[in-house]
Structure 1
Amino acid sequence: MTQAPTALITGAGAGIGRALAIEAVRRGYDPILVGRTEGTLLETRGLFPGTDARIVVADVTTPEGRRDIVEAAGSRLDVLVNNAGTLDVGHLRNMKDEALERMAATNLVAPIALTRDLLPALGAARGRVVNIGSVFGDIAYPFFAAYSATKFGLRGFSDALRRELSGSGIGVTYIAPRATRTAAEAEFAALVEPLAMTLDNAERVASEAWRAIEAGRRESFPRGKERIFVTLQRLFPSLIDRSVGAQARDARTLSALEPVSKT
């Protein structure tokens, strides 16, 4: 009997991570669900009873947590999905050190370190590293400065790792969703209208992500205006400077930002 492939998903207790796990099971994977809260992981696992889904309660930002994850993955891992992330929004001048350190540790350092630790298992399966980034990793948005920086870093890591691992059999896919309707939306909800943000649901993000993963694509961006803006950003960044800069200066944006700006 052929063993089902395994997909380890961090941040699997809610939002995009939960949707990625559901889609993984639908596509025949045995998921390993990683997160810091046992209750939410159990809720995710309860959505697909009768499977071989496992949960790992661990903090990906700590060496101890990563050791537990590596032990759970075992000697072979088909897909690693670095999805866990955190977000703080507001004027950079008001950002506390704790918020900056939390975003850098969770969004960037942890996926780099966890990928490093799981390379032997991924190599044994000729597997794939999947990094869940953001359109903000191409189009740096005002009031999301630190978050954008971490996602730019994750995109750069994905490109560098892909080149470093060329010929090894391990693939790398970078997924860049736009804003998504999850619990994290509460952090930036007031900015959705003044910044003309389009939101997707987590299920759509997960479906598009898994299509890219199984096709072996190097990166995936949402369909729509954001894909055009990413191209413009790479070719003519000054055009995006003017457009997004005007949004940042708009009185409606500044007014909407006040309740969410950290003081």
Structure 2
Amino acid sequence: MTKQNTVVITGAGSGIGRALAVEAARRGYRLILAGRRLAALEETARLAGHADAVCVAADVTTPEGRARIAAAAQDRLDVLINNAGTLSVGRITGMADAALERMVATNLTAPMALTRDLLPALEAAGGRVVNIGSVFGDIAFPFFAGYSATKFGLRGFSDAIRRELSGSGVGVTYVAPRAARTEAESEFGALVEPMAMTLDSADTVARQAWEAIEKGRRESYPKGKERFFVKIQRLLPGLVDKSVGAQARDPRVLAALDTRPGGTI
């Protein structure tokens, strides 16, 4: 009998996490879905066609929540996808401590801590850690300063543990999608047109992520202009300073920023 691989997906109740779960099911994985809302996780399981999926209602930013996820994974795990994230957009001068702390806790501290907690199970299976970052983790955009900082950190963590785990049998893949059409768009939707953002569907992000996972790639970036800009950012960051920095002074961008409803997802 062929062994069925198991994947843990955090933030699986909506958006990219839900799409990752549906794609994982299509590829034959056993699902462990983690998120704050049990009803949303159960809906993901239904959409994935996996009534036997394990749904873990847990806050990944807390030790108790991570312990529940680890208990569900037990002693062997093939893939951990650190996907849960949160976003607040706006001028740094108007960013509340709570918003900054929430982004750091969810987008950076939680993936590091959960990876640590699940490493024994991943090592037992020769598994893979997958961190869902962002193109904003390479190209830091104005008004996304806190979010970009957490994704830069997640990219650095991915590189560090890839090297730390060298020879252990555990692989690490960093996935950097561009902005996606999910619930998060409500936080930055007014900026999409004036900042000339290209948005992908959650399904597109999930397919590209799983392709990278199953091919054992170290990183995955979207096709198109963003991949080119990432290379320019690494080689000639001053050029990106001028181009992207100009957006911080663009009257259309500032008008959109001032009229957006605000909030955090």
Flag whether TM exceeds 0.5 (same fold).
Answer: yes
The aligned counterpart of 2:232 is: 232
* Count of matched residue pairs: 263
Secondary structure, aligned partner of 1:241: helix
Aligned partners of 2:50 and 2:177: how far apart in 1? 30
Q: CA deviation at 1:181?
A: 0.1
Kindly provide the CA deviation profile for residues 117-141 of structure 1, in whole angstroms up to 9, marking residues without a partner as x: 0000000000000000000000000
Residue 180 (structure 1) aligned with residue 167 (structure 2): no
The aligned counterpart of 1:24 is: 24
The answer as to whether partners of 1:90 and 1:261 remain within 8 angstroms in 2 is: no
Match of 1:246, as an amino acid? A
The aligned counterpart of 2:108 is: 108
Off by >2 Å, runs of 4+ in structure 1: 48-52, 259-263
The aligned counterpart of 2:90 is: 90
Aligned partners of 1:138 and 1:259: how far apart in 2? 27
TM-score by length of 1: 0.98
**Which ranges in structure 2 are unaligned for 5 or more consecutive residues?**
none
The answer as to whether partners of 1:127 and 1:171 remain within 8 angstroms in 2 is: yes
The answer as to whether partners of 1:8 and 1:80 remain within 8 angstroms in 2 is: yes
Kindly provide the CA deviation profile for residues 54-88 of structure 1, in whole angstroms up to 9, marking residues without a partner as x: 10000000000000000000000000000000000
The answer as to whether partners of 1:247 and 1:253 remain within 8 angstroms in 2 is: yes
The aligned counterpart of 2:154 is: 154
The answer as to whether partners of 1:209 and 1:220 remain within 8 angstroms in 2 is: yes
The aligned counterpart of 1:193 is: 193
The aligned counterpart of 1:142 is: 142
The aligned counterpart of 1:117 is: 117
Q: CA deviation at 1:53?
A: 1.3
Aligned partners of 1:163 and 1:221: how far apart in 2? 20
The answer as to whether partners of 1:173 and 1:217 remain within 8 angstroms in 2 is: yes
Match of 1:107, as an amino acid? N
Q: CA deviation at 1:52?
A: 3.3
Match of 1:16, as an amino acid? I
Aligned partners of 1:157 and 1:260: how far apart in 2? 33
The answer as to whether partners of 1:175 and 1:209 remain within 8 angstroms in 2 is: yes
The aligned counterpart of 2:74 is: 74
Aligned partners of 1:31 and 1:41: how far apart in 2? 11
Kindly provide the CA deviation profile for residues 5-64 of structure 1, in whole angstroms up to 9, marking residues without a partner as x: 001000000000000000001111011000000110011011133553110000000000
Kindly provide the CA deviation profile for residues 66-119 of structure 1, in whole angstroms up to 9, marking residues without a partner as x: 000000000000000000000000000000000000000000000000000000
Aligned partners of 2:139 and 2:107: how far apart in 1? 17
Match of 1:163, as an amino acid? R
Identity percentage of aligned residues: 70
Aligned partners of 2:64 and 2:184: how far apart in 1? 26
The aligned counterpart of 2:9 is: 9
**Which ranges in structure 1 are unaligned for 5 or more consecutive residues?**
none
The aligned counterpart of 1:49 is: 49
Q: CA deviation at 1:247?
A: 1.3
Aligned partners of 1:164 and 1:50: how far apart in 2? 35
User: Pairwise CA RMSD of aligned residues?
Assistant: 1.1
The answer as to whether partners of 1:221 and 1:227 remain within 8 angstroms in 2 is: yes
The aligned counterpart of 1:35 is: 35
Kindly provide the CA deviation profile for residues 204-231 of structure 1, in whole angstroms up to 9, marking residues without a partner as x: 0000000000000000000000000000
The aligned counterpart of 1:206 is: 206
The aligned counterpart of 2:245 is: 245
Q: CA deviation at 1:248?
A: 1.4
Residue 218 (structure 1) aligned with residue 232 (structure 2): no
The answer as to whether partners of 1:179 and 1:199 remain within 8 angstroms in 2 is: yes
The answer as to whether partners of 2:187 and 2:262 remain within 8 angstroms in 1 is: no
TM-score by length of 2: 0.97
Aligned partners of 1:173 and 1:223: how far apart in 2? 17
Match of 2:255, as an amino acid? S
